[in-house]
């Protein structure tokens, strides 16, 4: 790590004062919470900020509030461990608790935060290699495209082929979550799905629309009475790994035979952002069973353009959707 | 003490074995004193130490608690990494980031960094492998050290490189080795005879099997802490498998006559830590020149790139057998991939008997660091080629997987195969001679693999056992403990001989001055050290008996050492241990011991089996159970032996599922020189594991470590095929390969 | 960072072998990092730390003053800054991938290599050296000894801390939960079967102690 100054504001306004306004200089100052991703980036010299702005002394950001209507408001400093064990989250937003529990290890979850998880940087080994000046680091080439791309995107890729590593993001998108971004000029709220960008659509060096002088302060998860959900994550190494692919599914089902009335289906680990596939979710509607699950699987990977070494992700996603739906049907 | 049974006088019985005598000694059992007959070494009769009958052993061959366990669970055990000396500087290397280059190194700016004491060029000019150290920095703090390393300016002129076999063998390949990128193939066997033998086979299979380069991945990286040399001597803390021998390597760079290497505990070696290496040399030079202790341990990245590896290989095998599964003909060609090194491979047909065979073998060189010995060098590679090919042939012939193995190996393996087959559930397994090709979404399969190893001893250790007048007993040897529990079995052997409990003996290891000891390689430590310890303890006991005989006016042959102290059969007197020791003069007893060929043996056998489950929808591979049956002569510590067997199985499992060095073929940079991307099996990958010690083996001590790592990955790969019909011919067995294999089966 | 202009090596696939020149492995240093000891609240009420600062850590129940930089990790502070060194906590990957540096921060398991020491002020840090109560080993430590749940021992402190963190909060933990609790730790010697035996034994010992 290069030496840096640590600034410890106690209010959000103070924190915002510390941030760079100029996009070109944004990496000179980094927001610091649990540090579970940032410290690794500092150690690898992927970023060399002059200043870290510690958010942990700002009160009120480390709480999960259950609103009267059943919706959740989750502060950015809530740890993954807290979220994974939170009773309402487990009961009513199961996929979210499962996603939180699937992150890293107990040690990571005790320190890592919701804000950090949503804003973490890619794991692509070219990005993480200091000497490969890839697109994500301001270079001119995505090395994965013609290289060792087993872990890279099959959907939404180009010109960069990273996959977004967050586990919470697919689950939250499946719940139509919305994020609050606080800037000097005030706050804006947007759907989490809109928070993430594709490399072709926006600044290829970023994964989100977060401005350099903004802070993601809260995530709001609207109540979904009568819905059930699950998050299925497939790791190369079960013990401790990022997803090769994951599926967040939320459904509203009733009756006998069980009939799906509404559904959300979001993929993780296969695209540069959480890959929401409403058409696949639509295929789940109707009488629940392998037929609709298979149809959803086919639709979920429609348009997939595998690279040389990641075609396996296509059958993998289909298999995970079957597993996820089977698990939900048994609940 | 109550009146003693007169039978106690009747020392020697007529039906004793040679070198043994039976005597009666008093024992307190359930609070009552009785006389029991025991068989003891007849020191005068044989004049040499014996392990004695196994059922008479009290500590050795039992389940022992490690004597240094408390130190390890409380963080008190001091490893080389943990050594802190006054005024010590932290040093680290900067490695070349690409595989082949012309390098200039400018350390001027690094020297100016506050806190940096020295920055030096380690190598410039042509750098021949990825990660080769080119510069070193020594600094007062870790932060200054890092700033110093970052301030070094490398001028790099990239040179054409070869980091894969294909690149090395290409027509326009850059020169890796002056004598050619591939060594001259070594051919064994008669090709014409083999070609003829294939004609008579009931089935012949031919395939190519590949294993990648694996890393030792010692948790404690290589390195040393070198204290400032005084006039003629120096102390070096070194994480090494050769505590005694490595002292010589430091003398030159330190310019001293005497070096004391200290290695109380070490965090793994697995064959990679025999030499002081560039890290030892540079640390010595810095300590000498800067007159400050130097802590130079490799970074994790360095450890992955310049501390050795298990070579990979590509092996093409053609194998034929008769209808019963007897192996008739085999032809193989093997390319070893050991970077700049020659690589290792145990040869084919490995442990199986094949009537006629021919093989060619060569090394293919690349711009990567040279392979080093790694736990059973060459055997896991050979196992994968042989066991996979044998399995394929078994399915082609329709012969049971256990039967085909039994038909081509010796008695010990046959016996072990039956036992392991029973334990894994082979007899009840529903599809023995063909995979499950049903529509089921999860499928279970079983596979097998066999191993051999030497594990015998050498006459290198010199052990000292001292008994002091205060009752203390100390055993010293300049050996080291890689995690096998050396202190524990040294303690047990001495305590056994002297009739003491484990707590009555202190074992000292890990210092050059404790005496000559062999380097820990080839699973030879136990078979080399244990006999010498036994000998030293035997000599100490003899000397003690002689001394006591004088004091008690008895005869040394009448003095018995047992758990209740010392007993003189002649005078029927019993002395507590401490009281007996008090009769010794101030010098106490000091006895030495050397290797005893008759206490060690050589050559071990193992059979392993794996049961796996494959999810055909996701390619998820779960190992459900692994079984190992292993002989190793006299077991010194049953718990420790089981730990080692588990360890071998876990490493093979990890090799099967995840491990491989990944180097970018176009860029020549390391992609996974860290523990995130170089994945090791961890808690959730570990199946039910069964370790069966083969107690039918009545031989002397033999090392067990290496054999246990040989066949596990082969058994797992074979089990995958048995489960679902996908034959994976290259490691690791990643889900991507499995999914594509399953898709291929569907297409037919 | 990997600035292509600064690196001098053209690592593009096309141009890789063509280029030559100077590669700054690090690059120019910024302003001196050790010169100023600077800590405290400035006029804007925002505390700022830079250079070398003295902090007080609560380590195994005792307050210890230690000089660190903001970038000093808790792991480095324990091993290289605290006197005498608390070197039971091991440095293995230094990247949050192996668990060897696991400590308890306010009773929760954490990788000391991913925490900044300055961030641990005011928190209760327990390291492997502080887990036993005097001479009485923690049940996990005791069980590790009895079940030979260690070989070289380098991963052992991390496993003991990960499992004890779980059992101290969840004395009812099942074997699966215990495996999950140490899934962020690696053991190269492969002692896992004995680690699991020890974990279960420790769980039973804790249950027994509760009754």
Is it the case that residue B397 has pLDDT exceeding 60? yes
R_g of chain A, CA atoms, integer Å: 19
What pLDDT does residue A331 have?
86
Length of chain C counted residue by residue: 211
Residue C64 has pLDDT above 70, yes or no: yes
Q: Is the pLDDT assigned to residue C85 strictly greater than 60?
A: yes
Taking a C-beta distance cutoff of 8 angstroms, is the pair B613, B723 a contact? yes
For B684, C106, C182, C199, the CA distances from C177, given in Å and listed in that order, are: 10, 21, 9, 10
Both structure tokens of B194 = 């083999």
Size of interface A-B (CB pairs under 8 A): 83
Q: Does C155 touch chain B (CB under 8 A)?
A: yes
- Provide the pLDDT for residue B133: 98
Q: Given CB atoms, is B144 within the 8 Å cutoff of chain C?
A: yes
- What pLDDT shows up at residue C23? 41
What pLDDT does B87 receive? 97
What is the pLDDT confidence band of residue A109, given thresholds at 50, 70 and 90?
very high
Q: Is B442 on the interface with A (CB under 8 A)?
A: no
Q: Is residue B54 predicted with pLDDT exceeding 60?
A: yes
Q: What whole-number distance in Å separates Cα of residue B194 and Cα of residue C92?
A: 51
Q: Which of B493, B467, B474, B598 is nearest to B545 (CA)?
A: B467
SS3 annotation, B557-604: HHEEEECCEEEECCCCEEECHHHHHHCCCCCCEEEEEECCHHHECCCE
pLDDT score of B280: 98
DSSP class of residue A9 equals -
The mean per-residue pLDDT over the stretch B541-563 comes to 95
Going by the DSSP 8-state scheme, the letter that residue B5 receives in this structure is P
Q: What does the pLDDT average to over B406-435?
A: 97
Q: Which of C139, C151, C173, C200 to mutate to test the interface with B (most CBs of B within 10 A)?
A: C151
Higher pLDDT, B237 or B15: B237
pLDDT at C3: 38
pLDDT-derived band at B36, boundaries 50, 70, 90: low
Of C27, C92, C185, which has the smallest distance from its Cβ to B682's Cβ? Answer: C185
A2 contacts in B (CB within 8 Å)? Answer: 147, 150
B624/A contact by beta carbon, under 8 A = no
- Of the pLDDT bands very low, low, confident and very high (cuts 50, 70, 90), residue C1 is very low
Contacts of B737 in chain A (CB under 8 A): 312
Chain C: touching chains (3 or more CB pairs < 8 Å) = A, B
pLDDT of residue B40: 56
**Rounded Cα distance, B614 and A188, in Å:** 48
A52–C70 CB contact, under 8 Å: yes
Select from B76, B143, B268 the Cβ nearest to the Cβ of C72: B143
A-chain CB neighbours of B98 within 8 Å are 131
> What average pLDDT does chain B have?
94
pLDDT bucket at A23, cuts 50 / 70 / 90: confident
Give C127's contacts in chain B (Cβ within 8 Å): 75
Contact at CB, C50 and A129, closer than 8 angstroms = no
**Per-residue pLDDT reduced to its tens digit, A223-236:** 999 999 999 999 99
**Per the CB < 8 Å rule, is C99 touching A107?**
yes
B502 touches chain C (CB under 8 A): no
Q: How high is the ipTM of this complex?
A: 0.97
Rounded distance between C-alpha atoms, residue A59 and residue A12, angstroms: 9
Q: Do C192 and B143 touch (CB under 8 A)?
A: no
Chain A, nearest residue to B736 by Cα: A312
Cis status, amide bond into B635, omega within 30 of 0: no
Tell me the two tokens of residue C81. 């800054």
Is the Cβ of A129 closer than 8 Å to some Cβ of chain B?
A: yes
Percent of chain A surpassing pLDDT 70: 100
pLDDT tens figures, A179-211: 999 998 899 999 999 999 999 999 999 999 999
B143 close contact with C: CB closer than 8 A? yes
In a mutational test of the B interface, the residue from A107, A141, A146, A238 whose CB has the highest number of chain B CBs within 10 Å is A238
Q: What residues pair up with A220 in beta bridges, in sequence order?
A: A73, A178
pLDDT band, very low/low/confident/very high, at B222 (cuts 50, 70, 90) = very high
A230: part of which helix (H) or strand (E)? strand A227-235
Question: Which among A237, A309, A311 has CB closest to B685?
Answer: A237
Query: What's the CATH superfamily of B80-159+227-297?
Result: Aldehyde oxidase/xanthine dehydrogenase, a/b hammerhead (3.90.1170.50)
What does residue B101 show for φ and ψ, rounded to 5 degrees?
-160, 160
Using CB atoms, which residue from A147, A241, A312 is nearest to B664? Answer: A147
Chain A residues near residue B684 by CB distance under 8 angstroms: 238-239
- By Cβ distance, the residue of C33, C141, C183 closest to B683 is C183
To the nearest 10°, the Cα dihedral for C148, C150, C152, C157?
-140
Give B564's Cβ-side CA count (13 Å radius). Answer: 16
Q: What pLDDT score does C157 carry? A: 98
The continuous run of DSSP H or E covering C192 comes out as helix C192-210
Span B126-149, pLDDT tens digits: 999 999 999 999 999 999 999 999
C-alpha B476, offset from chain centre:
22
DSSP B500-562: --GGGEEEE-SBGGG-----S-TT-HHHHHHHHHHHHHHHHHHHHHHHHHHHHTS-GGGEEEE
10 Å Cβ neighbour count for B470?
10
Q: In this structure, what token pair is assigned to residue A102?
A: 């699937």
Q: What is the pLDDT of residues A42-84, one digit of tens each?
A: 999 999 999 999 999 999 999 999 999 999 999 999 999 999 9
Q: How far is CA B365 from CA B162, B164, B182, B660, C146, in A?
A: 8, 9, 6, 17, 47
Question: What is the pLDDT at residue B17?
Answer: 61
Residue with tokens 């303690």: B491
Nearest chain C Cα distance for residue A22, angstroms? 19
Instruction: Give partners of A (≥3 CB pairs < 8 A).
Output: B, C
pLDDT of residue B264: 97
Q: How confident is the model at residue A113 (pLDDT cuts 50, 70, 90)?
A: very high
Question: In the CATH scheme, what architecture does the domain C139-210 have?
Answer: Orthogonal Bundle (1.10)
Chain B residues within an 8 Å CB radius of C191: 643, 646-647, 650
The predicted model gives B21-39 an average pLDDT of 58
Looking at the predicted structure, is the pLDDT value of residue B3 above 70? Answer: no
Which residue, among B612, B616, B671, B743, would best test binding to A if mutated, counting the most A CBs under 10 Å from its CB?
Answer: B671
Subunits in contact with chain B (3 or more CB pairs closer than 8 Å)? A, C
DSSP state of B77: P
Which candidate, B31, B39, B32, B35, places its Cα nearest to that of B4?
B35
* Token representation of residue B49: 């130490």
Contact indicator for B146, A1 with CB cutoff of 8 Å: yes
Q: For chain A, what's the residue count?
A: 331
The pLDDT tens digits of the residues spanning B555-575 come to: 999 999 999 999 999 999 999
Nearest residue, CB atoms, B113 vs list C29, C80, C151: C29
B70 Cβ under 8 Å from any chain C Cβ: yes
Alpha-carbon distance of C193 to B523, in angstroms, equals: 22
Contacts of B543 (CB under 8 A, 6+ apart): B589, B591
Dist CA B469 CA B580 (whole Å): 8
User: What is the DSSP annotation of B371-429?
Assistant: P---SSTTHHHHHHHHHHHHHHHHHHHT--HHHHHHTTS-HHHHHHHHHHHHHHTTTT-
pLDDT at C18 over 60: no
Please indicate if any CB of chain A lies within 8 Å of the CB of B147: yes
- Convert the pLDDT of each residue in B55-90 to its tens digit: 999 999 999 999 999 999 999 999 999 999 999 999
Backbone dihedral angles phi then psi of residue B734, each to the nearest 5 degrees: -75, 155
**Domain at B312-455+601-747, CATH from 1.20.1250.20, 3.30.365.10, 2.60.120.10, 3.40.50.10470:** 3.30.365.10
Specify the higher pLDDT residue, C16 or B296.
B296
- Kindly report the CA angle at C76 between C71 and C81, in degrees rounded to 5? 100
Put simply, the answer to whether C96 touches A48 (Cβ < 8 Å) is no
Burial B538-564 (b: 16+ CB within 10 A, else e): bbbbbbbbebbbeebebebbbbbbbeb
* Closest to B72 measured CA to CA, from B487, B633, B560: B487
In chain A, what residues touch B734 (CB-CB under 8 Å)? Answer: 236
- State the fold for domain B457-557+573-596: Aldehyde Oxidoreductase; domain 4 (3.30.365)
**Across C31-45, average pLDDT:** 43
Contact C46 A42 (CB under 8 A): no
Q: Mind listing the pLDDT tens digit for each residue in B496-534? A: 999 999 999 999 999 999 999 999 999 999 999 999 999
**SS3 for B624?**
strand
What pLDDT digit, counting tens, does each position of B654-685 carry?
999 999 999 999 999 999 999 999 999 999 99
Domain limits, chain A: 227-330
Q: How far apart are CA A8 and CA B162, in angstroms?
A: 50
Residue A313 has pLDDT above 80, yes or no: yes
Q: Which fold would CATH assign to domain C50-129?
A: Ubiquitin-like (UB roll) (3.10.20)
Residue of A131, A238, A312 with shortest CB distance to B736:
A312
* Greater pLDDT, B99 or B11: B99
- Residue percentage of chain B with pLDDT more than 90: 93
| A247 lies within 8 A of chain B by CB | no
In the structure, what pLDDT confidence band is assigned to residue C45 with cuts at 50, 70 and 90? confident
Residues of C in contact with B73 (CB under 8 A): 128, 137, 141, 144-145, 150, 156-157, 160
Secondary structure class of B311 (helix, strand, coil):
coil
- Report CB contact under 8 Å: B735, A3: no
Q: Is the model's pLDDT at C33 over the cut of 50?
A: no
Question: How would DSSP label each residue in B84-120?
Answer: --TT-EEEEEEE-SSSSEEEEEE-HHHHHSTTEEEEE
pLDDT of residue B231: 85
Angstrom distance (rounded) from CA C105 to CA A276: 37
The tens digit of pLDDT for each residue in C87-132 reads 999 999 999 999 999 999 999 999 999 999 999 999 999 999 999 9
Q: Inform me whether the pLDDT recorded for B34 exceeds 70.
A: no
Q: Which two tokens stand for residue B117?
A: 């004491």
Q: Which of B113, B155, B680 sits opposite C22 (nearest CB)?
A: B155
Which element (helix H / strand E) includes B722?
Answer: helix B712-724
pLDDT tens per residue, range B246-283: 999 999 999 999 999 999 999 999 999 999 999 999 99
pLDDT single digits (tens) B158-216: 999 999 999 999 999 999 999 999 999 999 999 999 999 999 999 999 999 999 999 99
Task: Sort out which chain C residues have CB atoms less than 8 A from A5's CB and list them.
Answer: 48-50, 70
pLDDT at C208 (0 to 100):
83
| pLDDT exceeds cutoff 70 at C17 | no
Query: Could you say which residues from 171 to 200 on chain C have a Cβ atom under 8 Å away from some Cβ of chain B?
Result: 179-180, 182-196
| Token code pair at residue B699 | 């031989």
Place of tokens 């792991």: C75
The pLDDT assigned to C168 comes to 97
Count the alpha carbons within 13 Å of B309 in the hemisphere toward its beta carbon.
Answer: 31
Q: Domain A227-330 is classified in which CATH homologous superfamily?
A: CO dehydrogenase flavoprotein, C-terminal domain (3.30.390.50)
Question: Is B267 in Cβ contact with C27 (below 8 Å)?
Answer: no
Is B158 touching A (CB cutoff 8 A)?
A: no
Q: Which of A143, A240, A316 sits opposite B739 (nearest CB)?
A: A316
What local confidence, expressed as pLDDT, does residue B407 receive? 98
B679 near A CB under 8 A:
yes
- Quick one: which of B267, B260, B271 has its CA closest to B525? B271
- The average pLDDT across B330-359 equals 97
Looking at residue B241, its pLDDT comes to 97
| Mean pLDDT confidence for A85-110 | 98
Q: Check: CB of residue A80 under 8 Å from CB of residue A112.
A: yes
Domain locations along chain B? 80-159+227-297, 312-455+601-747, 457-557+573-596
Per-residue model confidence (pLDDT) at position B470 = 97
CB A326 within 8 A of CB A232: no
- C11 phi and psi angles, rounded to 5 deg: -90, 20
One fold for both B80-159+227-297 and B312-455+601-747?
A: no
Quick one: what percent of chain B has pLDDT higher than 70? Answer: 94
Predicted confidence at residue B22, as pLDDT, reads: 67
Query: What SS3 class is residue A220?
Result: strand
Q: Out of B219, B265, B674, whose CB is closest to C95?
A: B674
Mean pLDDT to the nearest integer, A135-158? 97
- Count Cβ atoms below 10 Å from residue A22 Cβ, excluding itself: 9
- CA dist A308 and A306 (Å) reads 7
Considering the entire predicted model, what is its pTM?
A: 0.94
What is the count of residue pairs from A and C with beta carbons less than 8 Å apart? 141
Report the alpha-carbon angle A173-A175-A177, nearest 5: 65
Q: Does B617 touch chain A (CB under 8 A)?
A: yes
């Amino acid at each position: 790590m290069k030496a840096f100054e640590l600034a410890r504001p106690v209010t959000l306004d103070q924190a915002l004062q510390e941030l760079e306004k100029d996009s070109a200089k944004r990496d000179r100052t980094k927001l610091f919470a649990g540090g579970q991703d940032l410290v690794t980036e500092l150690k690898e010299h992927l970023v060399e900020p002059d200043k870290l702005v510690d958010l942990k002394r700002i009160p009120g950001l480390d709480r999960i509030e259950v609103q009267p209507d059943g919706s959740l408001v989750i502060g950015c400093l809530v740890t993954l461990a807290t979220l994974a064990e939170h009773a309402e989250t487990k009961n009513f937003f199961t996929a979210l608790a499962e996603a939180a529990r699937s992150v890293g290890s107990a040690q990571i979850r005790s320190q890592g935060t919701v804000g950090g998880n949503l804003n973490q940087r890619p794991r692509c080994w070219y990005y993480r290699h200091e000497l490969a000046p890839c697109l994500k680091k301001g270079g001119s080439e995505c090395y994965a495209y013609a290289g060792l791309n087993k872990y890279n995107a099959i959907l939404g890729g180009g010109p960069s082929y990273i996959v977004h590593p967050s586990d919470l993001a697919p689950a939250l998108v499946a719940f139509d979550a919305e994020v609050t971004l606080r800037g000097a000029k005030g706050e804006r709220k947007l759907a989490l799905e809109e928070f993430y960008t594709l490399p072709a659509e926006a600044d290829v060096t970023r994964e989100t629309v977060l401005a350099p002088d903004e802070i993601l302060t809260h995530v709001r998860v609207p109540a979904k009475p009568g819905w059930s959900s699950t998050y299925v994550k497939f790791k190369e190494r079960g013990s401790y790994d990022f997803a090769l692919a994951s599926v967040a599914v939320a459904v509203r089902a009733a009756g006998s035979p069980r009939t799906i009335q509404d559904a959300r289906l979001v993929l993780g680990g296969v695209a540069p952002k959480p890959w929401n596939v409403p058409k696949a979710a639509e295929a789940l509607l109707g009488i629940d069973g392998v037929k609709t699950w298979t149809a959803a699987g086919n639709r979920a990977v429609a348009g997939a353009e595998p690279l040389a070494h990641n075609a396996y992700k296509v059958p993998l996603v289909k298999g995970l959707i079957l597993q996820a739906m089977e698990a939900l049907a048994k609940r | 003490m109550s009146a003693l049974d007169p039978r106690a006088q009747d020392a020697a019985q007529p039906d004793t074995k040679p070198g043994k005598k039976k005597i009666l000694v008093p024992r307190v059992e359930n609070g009552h004193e009785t006389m029991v007959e025991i068989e003891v070494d007849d020191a005068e009769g044989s004049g040499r130490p014996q392990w004695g009958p196994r059922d008479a052993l009290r500590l050795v061959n039992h389940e022992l608690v490690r004597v240094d366990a408390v130190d390890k669970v409380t963080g008190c055990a001091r490893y080389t990494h943990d050594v802190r000396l006054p005024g010590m500087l932290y040093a680290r290397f900067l490695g070349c980031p690409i595989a082949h280059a012309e390098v200039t190194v400018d350390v001027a700016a690094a020297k100016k960094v506050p806190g940096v004491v020295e920055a030096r060029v380690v190598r410039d000019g042509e750098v021949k492998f990825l990660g080769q150290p080119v510069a070193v920095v020594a600094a007062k703090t870790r932060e200054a050290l890092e700033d110093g390393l970052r301030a070094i300016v490398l001028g790099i002129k990239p040179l054409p490189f070869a980091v894969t076999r294909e690149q090395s063998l290409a027509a326009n390949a850059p020169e890796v080795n002056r004598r050619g990128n591939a060594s001259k193939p070594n051919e064994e066997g008669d090709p014409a005879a083999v070609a003829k033998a294939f004609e008579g086979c009931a089935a012949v299979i031919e395939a190519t099997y590949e294993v990648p380069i694996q890393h030792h991945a010692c948790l404690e990286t290589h390195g040393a802490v070198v204290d400032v040399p005084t006039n003629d001597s120096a102390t070096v803390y070194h994480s090494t498998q050769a505590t005694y021998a490595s002292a010589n390597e430091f003398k030159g760079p330190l310019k001293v006559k005497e070096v004391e290497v200290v290695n109380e505990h070490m965090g793994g070696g697995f064959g990679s830590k025999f030499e002081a290496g560039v890290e030892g040399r540079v640390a010595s030079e810095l300590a000498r020149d800067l007159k400050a202790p130097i802590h130079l341990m490799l970074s994790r990245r360095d450890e992955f790139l310049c501390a050795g590896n298990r070579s990979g290989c590509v092996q093409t095998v053609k194998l034929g057998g008769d209808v019963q599964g007897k192996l008739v003909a085999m032809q193989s060609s093997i390319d070893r991939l050991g970077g700049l090194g020659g690589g290792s491979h145990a040869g084919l047909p490995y442990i199986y008997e094949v009537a006629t065979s021919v093989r060619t073998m060569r090394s293919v060189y690349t711009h990567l660091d040279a392979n080093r010995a790694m736990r059973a060098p060459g055997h896991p590679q050979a196992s994968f080629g042989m066991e996979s090919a044998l399995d394929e042939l078994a399915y082609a012939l329709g012969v049971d997987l256990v039967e085909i193995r039994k038909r081509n190996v010796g008695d010990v393996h046959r016996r072990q195969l039956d036992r392991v087959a029973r334990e894994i559930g082979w007899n009840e397994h529903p599809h023995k001679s063909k995979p499950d090709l049903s529509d089921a979404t999860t499928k279970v399969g079983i596979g097998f693999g066999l191993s051999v190893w030497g594990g015998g001893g050498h006459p290198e250790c010199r052990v000292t056992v001292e008994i002091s007048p205060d009752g203390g007993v100390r055993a010293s040897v300049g050996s080291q403990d890689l995690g096998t529990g050396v202190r524990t079995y040294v303690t047990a052997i001495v305590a056994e001989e002297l009739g003491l409990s484990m707590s009555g003996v202190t074992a000292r290891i890990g210092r050059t001055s404790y005496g000559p000891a062999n380097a820990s390689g080839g699973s030879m430590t136990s078979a080399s050290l244990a006999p010498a310890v036994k000998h030293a303890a035997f000599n100490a006991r003899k000397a003690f008996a002689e001394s006591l005989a004088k004091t008690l006016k008895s005869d040394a042959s009448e003095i018995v050492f047992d758990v209740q102290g010392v007993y003189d059969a002649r005078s029927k007197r019993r002395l507590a241990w401490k009281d007996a020791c008090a009769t010794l003069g101030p010098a106490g007893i000091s006895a030495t011991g050397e290797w005893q060929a008759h206490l060690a043996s050589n050559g071990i056998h193992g059979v392993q089996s794996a049961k796996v489950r494959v999810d055909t929808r996701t390619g998820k591979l779960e190992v459900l159970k692994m079984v190992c049956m292993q002989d190793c002569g006299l077991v010194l510590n049953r718990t420790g032996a089981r730990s080692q067997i588990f360890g071998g199985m876990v490493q093979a499992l990890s090799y099967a599922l995840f491990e491989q060095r990944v180097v970018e073929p176009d860029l020549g940079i390391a992609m996974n020189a860290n523990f995130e991307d170089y994945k090791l099996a961890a808690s959730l990958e570990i199946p039910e594991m069964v370790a069966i010690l083969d107690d039918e083996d009545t031989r002397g001590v033999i090392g067990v470590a290496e054999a246990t790592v040989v066949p596990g990955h082969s058994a797992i790969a074979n089990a995958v095929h048995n489960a679902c019909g996908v034959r994976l011919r290259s490691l690791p067995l990643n889900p991507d390969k499995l999914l594509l294999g399953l898709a291929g089966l569907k297409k037919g | 960072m990997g600035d292509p202009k600064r690196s001098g090596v053209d690592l593009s696939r096309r141009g890789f072998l063509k280029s030559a020149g100077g590669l700054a492995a690090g690059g120019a240093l910024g302003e001196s990092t050790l010169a100023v000891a600077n800590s405290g609240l400035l006029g804007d009420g925002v505390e700022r730390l830079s250079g070398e600062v003295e902090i007080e850590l609560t380590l195994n129940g005792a307050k210890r003053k230690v000089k660190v930089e903001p970038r000093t990790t808790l792991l480095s502070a324990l091993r290289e800054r605290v006197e005498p060194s608390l070197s039971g906590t091991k440095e293995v990957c230094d990247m949050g991938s192996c668990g060897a540096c696991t400590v308890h921060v306010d009773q929760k398991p954490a990788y000391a290599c991913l925490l900044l020491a300055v961030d641990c002020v005011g928190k209760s840090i327990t390291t492997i050296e502080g887990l036993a109560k005097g001479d009485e080993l923690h049940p996990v430590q005791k069980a590790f000894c009895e079940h030979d749940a260690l070989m070289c021992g380098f991963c052992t402190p991390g496993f003991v801390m990960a499992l004890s963190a779980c059992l101290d909060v969840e004395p009812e933990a099942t074997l699966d939960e215990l495996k999950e609790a140490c899934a962020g730790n690696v053991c190269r010697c492969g002692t896992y079967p004995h680690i699991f035996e020890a974990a279960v034994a420790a769980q039973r010992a804790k249950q027994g102690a509760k009754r």
